[in-house]
Structure 1
């Protein structure tokens, strides 16, 4: 429900919201990918019956068993995927600039999302940490290695209906730092290291705690693997099938 909750990011999109409303009203059943998404539907469209909405969680497809060797710095924080708008990369980068300036052996590695845009490049150049920012697109077979080698994975997004990268990181034993908001607590459970939405001081403190304490990283590595094991596509497809059968 990102288009409805954050319309300022989608000012040129005139069709998604009205079309979605029509589909929500006409559907016999609605599959929501989290409790958070169901709550948002009911909040925005209170005339939709709650019993019409079933929750089916997603899973991930990252292959943790693939042995690849990607060239990475020794110490890096990982950011995966699209960086624009509500993904909140600029906020994350600004929060981390003092840390990067203080720790010249620390890097931020952005996997995917294509090259840094003009705004990002300007901020990076002005900040004096250009050499500590890396962007790389990747093959699917390489993604697990990026997660496994990272000190932590940061997902500062303002909103996600589910957030598959969170599962990917946990499955690879990579500690996850994310907002205590939207669907994230459902996905990460007690394996997530949460910061207050858009609170840069809190974000920096949570990351610093991880960087400075290997035992905490190990603790959340184990918690994450156990949490990720709760989600799988067999479970997802079985639950989807049950919804289809109730409709038939």
Structure 2
């Protein structure tokens, strides 16, 4: 059974509000920009941010709660606050469904926007220490744990073109799933970044690491330092 109010700081509703506040102060979710979803494995529910709410002021009672419907790829709202659900929700649900993501983060950082003006179809970077925080897509056959990229490996993040509304990006996102099966993120030109992960902690680490690497690439371009 789902719950909105909890004293547990690791409860999905509390995590979404806490992380949204952190991302606001990083200037990744200013105004009402940005969104997030977290799947609660104990209740099989997905908590999703609403639209049009300042992220640093958001409360657990503002969040939508969705549960798996009877039809394939269908999610039904089981808790609906007096707010509109994020227009990103179809993208979030696609990540939960097709990538088995437990958390999806969408930010509007300046780095994520600017990098899409410097690169065309993909952002690629290698030989940077922070790359080691990113997943390779491979799994250790002995431990079953995910293998991360190494220093010399290439991190590739696909770039898709923006649309008038976020839900219009679904087709492009699903194309990314097929063409980049190991990707854990996608950049949207002149818009921002979507990141998904097997846990909320991993998704946060990926988001922070990617934004750091995007910032490095922008500064290297400004200084004419070859990638």
> TM-score normalized by structure 1?
0.25
Structure label with greater radius of gyration: 1
- Between Structure 1 and Structure 2, which shows a larger proportion of helix residues? 1
- Between Structure 1 and Structure 2, which shows a larger proportion of strand residues? 2
> TM-score normalized by structure 2?
0.27
Higher relative contact order (CA 8 A, sep 6+): 1
